[in-house]
Chains A and B, each alone.
Chain A
Amino acid sequence: MKYILMMHAGRAGWKDAGIGTWPMEDIKTHIGFMKGFAKDLKEAGELVAAEGLAGVEEARIVRAGKGGAPEVTDGPFAESKEFLAGFWIVDVESKERAYEIAARASAAPGKGGVPLNMPIEVREVMSAPPVEA
């Protein structure tokens, strides 16, 4: 079963309280954790894909305008408190295992090594239908 684990970061904290304000040592610890996390998933044969997304400042909302031409706006980011910062797609034996992986990602170390406790949205990826009885 495949699941996508979406890491949400708080908008308020991104610039002012976010990683940019951490001491060098904490940033290193955080990056080291993320690398080790991806390596473990890979070695477990569970990693399908993992990507981090560029900053929300550059995010745009696109809609089809007249004649299907792209109509680009800055998007309603002012209202949203959280945004997608990155995701993993894992192929695991059970829902419980996906939750376990998400919990580990959530506990990534932040400032002073304190776990960030980030919200990780876990969604099953659609697949083929089961065998009919």
Chain B
Amino acid sequence: MALDGTVENLLRELAPQVLGAVMRRYGDFSAAEDAVQEALIAASRQWPAEGLPDNPRGWLIQVAARRMADHVRAELARRRREAVVVMQAPAEEEIVPAPDSDILPERDDTLVLLFMCCHPALTRPTAIALTLRAVAGLTTAEIANAFLVPESTMAQRISRAKQTIKSSGVPFEMPTSRERAARLGAVLHVVYLIFNEGYASSIGPSLQRADLANEAIRLARALHRRIPEDAETAGMLALMLLTDARRAARTGADGELIPLTEQDRTLWDQEAIAEGVALITATLSKGAVGPYQLQAAIAAVHDEAPRVDDTDWPQIVALYTVLMRISDNPMVALNHAIAVAMVRGPAAGLTLLDGLDVDRRIAGHYRACAVRAHLLEMSGDYAGAITHYLAAAGRTASIPERDYLTTKAARLSSQVTRQ
């Protein structure tokens, strides 16, 4: 039914706004979040069948508020049973919302909620889970399914996140301008991790899993819409669009991994590429360049080449050089070495790799082995390439990647034998 997609989009958009409104009235984040989740589930069942209510947002707020009232009543009853502080409890009529409740529908708390759910006091897995539920409006079952863990485990993770927020007194308000840069960094990181998880798991037999890459893009769009002046937010959205544009070309018929240089570029999503390129171009012209913007610029250079041979490698080398200067990430240095090899030949790339061997974060890492194998193959040293492809295959924690590396080694071996 056509309405289903509309309803889903609407619910995802309204989820954080409704939660913000209910929070403002009742204060209790944990219970408010549960109440909103119930309202969302009710809406997803009723709306496709009965049609949209006149005021969807008001409908959700009212249903959630009613759940909250039930919750407060149950709490009171429990306390009464336990005969504790009965005298201090408010009268029942004080906790039930009036029919024309005074909840203001104008305020949008999406940003405040994102700052709260991605608070540095939370571990990353709990921040991811809470963000997906409280801001993206996913159900616990959907999140559990996406991460392939039992639903009870995900429920615990979410309730743990809520407890941490409660005990560390994270306030429901915008961070001060002094804190904001660092806190926004944490928000971007969580949203990007969600994207990575989704993009990575789009390989192989995972069609039933909630599409986390799309959810992350949705969150990044929501963030960008509210703080369009922030260049790294724009850069991250562009990076996601430009990376996700290649999704259909990234796997073969049997779910096998196809690297960037071997992809069928006619399968790339040109609309997403156009949007990503426009966004990163507009953003870079404003100055204050950061890692997300640079990675987006690199992705844009790849995406703009109709054939792999058309790739502007000198430009990619230049971008990686800037990126290395501002971020101390050995993976960036590896990619830089590949780009250099494409411009100046494999020997130049291998020299750079030798220099990286002293970096303990990367020495012996499967990616370092795989890059070395690739450059050795380029230079015609097939025996060396085979050794390093196999070393990389033995060290990766990813099945599609292991299969890809093993196949590379096998293909080279058969070439060597034929010669």
Contact = CB atoms under 8 A, between A and B. Distances in A.
A92 B123 CA distance: 10
B399 interface: yes
B125 A45 contact: yes
| Residue among B199, B202, B295 with the highest chain A CB neighbour number at 10 A | B199
B264 interface: no
Given A43-B160, A45-B125, A92-B125, A130 B153 contact: no
B257 A48 contact: no
A103 to B, nearest CB: 18
A131 B199 contact: yes
Contact of A46 (B153, B295, B335): B153
B125 A93 contact: yes
Contact of A48 (B123, B150, B206): B150
Nearest to A44: B160
Contacts of A43: 156, 160
B160 A45 contact: yes
A33 B155 CA distance: 24
A130 B200 contact: yes
Contacts, number: 80
Contacts of A44: 156-157, 160
B156 A45 contact: yes
Interface in A81-100: 91-93
Interface size bucket, B side? Answer: 35 or more
Nearest to A42: B156
B196 interface: yes
Given A129-B203, A131-B200, A133-B335, A45 B129 contact: yes
Nearest to B240: A131
A132 B260 contact: yes
A126 B399 contact: yes
B125 A130 contact: no
Interface string A58-70: 0000000000000
B126 interface: yes
A45 B126 contact: yes
A108 B173 CA distance: 44
Contact of A45 (B154, B204, B401): B154
Contacts of A78: none
Given A45-B156, A128-B203, A133 B331 contact: yes
B278 interface: no
Contact of B157 (A45, A124, A128, A132): A45
| Residue among A49, A91, A125 with the highest chain B CB neighbour number at 10 A | A91
B62 interface: no
A89 to B, nearest CB: 9
Contact of A47 (B126, B153, B158): B153
A130 B160 CA distance: 27
Contact of B397 (A49, A91, A127, A132): A127
Interface string A10-23: 00000000000000
B152 interface: yes
A129 B149 contact: no
B147 A91 contact: yes
A96 to B, nearest CB: 12
B402 interface: yes
A129 B196 contact: no
A127 B401 CA distance: 10
B200 A129 contact: yes
Given A45-B129, A49-B150, A128-B197, 5 more contacts: A44-B157, A45-B153, A45-B155, A91-B125, A127-B399
21 contacts: A42-B152, A44-B156, A44-B160, A45-B125, A45-B156, A45-B158, A45-B160, A47-B153, A48-B148, A91-B149, A91-B153, A124-B397, A128-B400, A129-B257, A129-B398, A129-B400, A130-B196, A130-B200, A131-B199, A131-B200, A132-B243
Interface of A: 1, 42-49, 91-93, 124-133
